[in-house]
Every structure is written in C-alpha cells, then in structure tokens.
Amino acid sequence: MRSDLTPDLRTALDRDRFTVETERFRRELLAHCYRMVGSAHDAEDLVQESYLRAWRSYAGFEGRASIRSWLYKIATNVCLTALEPRPIRMLPSGLTGPYDGPDRPPAPVAPGEVSWLEPLPDAWIAPAADDPAAVVVVRESLRLALVASLQHLPSRQRAILILREVLAFSAAETAEILGTTTAAVKSGLQRARARLDELKPEPEELLEPADHRARALLDGYIAAFERSDVGLLEQVLRADATLEATPFREWQAGRAMCVHVLGTYVLGTPGDWRMLATTANGQPAAVVYHRHADGALRADGAVVLAPTATGISRVIKFHDPVLVATFGFPDVLAH
C-alpha cells in the first residue's frame, strides 16, 4: 500500500478490502452460529461480534490461513464463550416423554424455566441457487431434529462435530480453529458421534420444501386451521405423527392424540387462525396469526413441519409473536 496515504484513507481502504474478503461468508457463518447456539437472534448477534473481532485483528491477519478458516476460528470461539454461562436450548421432546395423562389443555412451563430452541428462516442463510448440492447440504444440516440434538452435546464436542462433519474441515484445520490437537479432535468427534447416535430420532426422508407433495401437506395443514377442520388434519398427519409446542412441556405422539388436542383445545372456530407459508430450517413452515377479541389478526408465532411421502411426521409450533417479524411478516394482518 502506498506510504503517502493518510491514516483515514488507509483505514477506509482496509475496511473496503476487509468487506470484500469477508462478507461472502456472512450467511454460512450465521448458519454455523445457529447450529452452535440454537437461536436465530443469538446467532445474528454472535456473527456481528465475530465480524467486529475480525476487523479489529484484520491488520494482523497475514494470510497464514485461508480467510474462511480464520473467520470460522473467530466465530466458533465467540460461540464457545457465549455458551459457557447459558443453559442449552430445548424442545419439549427433549424434556420428557409424550404426554398420556388425564385429558386437559397443555400447561405452559414457568417463564424462564426452559430456554427454548428457535427456528431459523431459510431466507437468512440461503446459499446460491445455482448450486443445488450446496442447498441440500445446508438444509439437511439445519433440520430442527438435528439442531435440537446438537444442543445436548458439550459445546466443544458440538463444535468439533459441526466443523468436521457439516463443514468438512480436516482434523488439522479443526484443531487449529479450536486451539487443540488433532488427537483431541479425533477423540472429541468419536464421543460426539456416539452421543448423537443416542439422541437423534430414527432418520427419515423429509421432502424438500419445493416438492409439490410437501407444499400440498403445508397447504392442507394451513387450511385445517383456517377452516377449523379436524378431518383435514387427520388427512395430512401420519399415524405416528408427533406434536409439540413451546412453551409447553407436554407433547403428543400419534395422530389420534395430536388431532384430539388440536381439535379440542386449539382450533376454535373458522377464521380464528391465519397462516402464511414460508420455510425454516430447510422445512415447510408458516407464520401464525390468531384473531383477538377486537377482531384483529395478531402475530402468534411460527410452525415448522416435517413432511414425508406418507404425510407430516412432526409438527413443532413456536409460540413467540416476535418470530413473525423475524420471518419478515407484519405484526397485524388486515381483516
């Protein structure tokens, strides 16, 4: 760089170069942080912190590693530091077995008792559409069942597994990112795989969100709520479907139980609910609105479906009105 440049101009040129070299990795770093912490909003904050740290140390980056692995080293360690004081994020199925007690409406847990997993809008992390293979890999590595299982791993094991098996860093590169040895990486990966095998549900072939069968199932689920149609729910849910919703501890297993709970305590009358289709975690999803006493349809949360060739196998509802804005939709719908 020319020596006659003023400090301000030199800083501006460095910042432009930093932006050019690093911004193309922002979305994949966001996906990485989300896998680590299980929260879209926390991941966004952690990526911002990672870029601030990267900029502060950019002058000392001399190309000893690739810019990508350097950024992953910063982001991974930002995540590990953030995870130290935090409880893991959960889904109801991670707390207890399916509910088979007396018939009553599900009761929410006490505020702050559980830190809940959050869905991640696909629009936040969508890779280039001209690389279909990359799209599939990203979607599969962000499926809610996998992300929920990852949260149960110790944070460093979680990082090792993600870096090695999702991001395909070598054992040596992973050791450099985590400041450890390749032997420790190999041992950590072995333990992480064993624990994940205990936690992960039986693998199933989920339909891609763009598959017409997946969209038909989503449309059917939405129509069932908007029309208060129990029969339509029975059509779209598999016999072994599960239903869980934050912030409720209890969850249901089996189509009969799911339909009973929804039909008895949730559906209400036609027009009480509106849903707008979207995608999250590589799965069909919808933002949810509920009609209030004043007649307004107000943000209620988001629902994510697991569609298969034989129906919806899993429904996860997130009762958090803030999520509607996260997906880019308004808080209130016109009548």
Q: pLDDT, tens digit, for every residue of 147-186?
A: 999 999 999 999 999 999 999 999 999 999 999 999 999 9
pLDDT single digits (tens) 21-40: 899 999 999 999 999 999 99
| pLDDT (mean) for 138-150 | 90
Of 100, 229, 278, the residue nearest 289 (C-alpha): 278
Window from 8-12, 137-141, 180-184 with minimum mean pLDDT = 8-12
Copy the structure tokens of residue 239: 């016999």
Q: What is the pLDDT of residue 63?
A: 67
Q: pLDDT-derived band of residue 4, with 50, 70 and 90 as boundaries?
A: low
| pLDDT (mean) for 205-214 | 94
pTM over 0.75: yes
Q: What's 86's DSSP letter?
A: S
Whether 321 and 288 have beta carbons less than 8 Å apart is answered as: no
Beta bridge partners of 34: none
Q: What is the pLDDT of residue 8?
A: 57
pLDDT averaged over the chain? 91
Tokens 């440049």 -> residue = 5
All structural domains of the chain with their residue ranges: 1-86, 212-333
Q: What is the pLDDT of residue 127?
A: 63
| pLDDT (mean) for 288-317 | 96
Domain 1-86 has CATH 1.10.287.70: no
Is the fold of 1-86 the same as that of 212-333?
no
Q: What is the pLDDT of residue 111?
A: 84
CA atoms within 13 A on the CB side of 185: 21
Q: pLDDT-derived band of residue 198, with 50, 70 and 90 as boundaries?
A: confident
> Nearest-5° angle of CA 90, CA 91, CA 96?
100
CATH architecture of the domain with residue range 212-333: Roll (3.10)
Give the CA-trace dihedral at 83, 87, 93, 98, to 10 degrees: 170
Q: What is the pLDDT of residue 133?
A: 58
| pLDDT (mean) for 44-48 | 97
Q: What is the pLDDT of residue 131?
A: 57
Residue 3 has pLDDT above 80, yes or no: no
Q: What is the pLDDT of residue 107?
A: 85
pLDDT single digits (tens) 68-116: 999 999 999 999 999 998 888 999 999 989 998 788 888 899 888 899 9
Q: What is the pLDDT of residue 104?
A: 87
Of 288, 317, 133, the residue nearest 208 (C-alpha): 133
| pLDDT (mean) for 50-68 | 86
Q: What is the pLDDT of residue 100?
A: 84
- Helix runs in the chain, H state only: 7-22, 26-37, 40-56, 67-83, 132-141, 144-150, 155-161, 171-178, 182-199, 212-227, 230-236, 255-261, 322-326
Rounded CA gap, 149 and 174, in Å?
21
- Which pairs count as long-range contacts for 164-167, CB under 8 Å and 24+ apart, including other chains? 164/189, 165/189, 166/35, 166/141, 167/32, 167/72
Residue 202 has pLDDT above 80, yes or no: no
Q: What is the pLDDT of residue 13?
A: 64
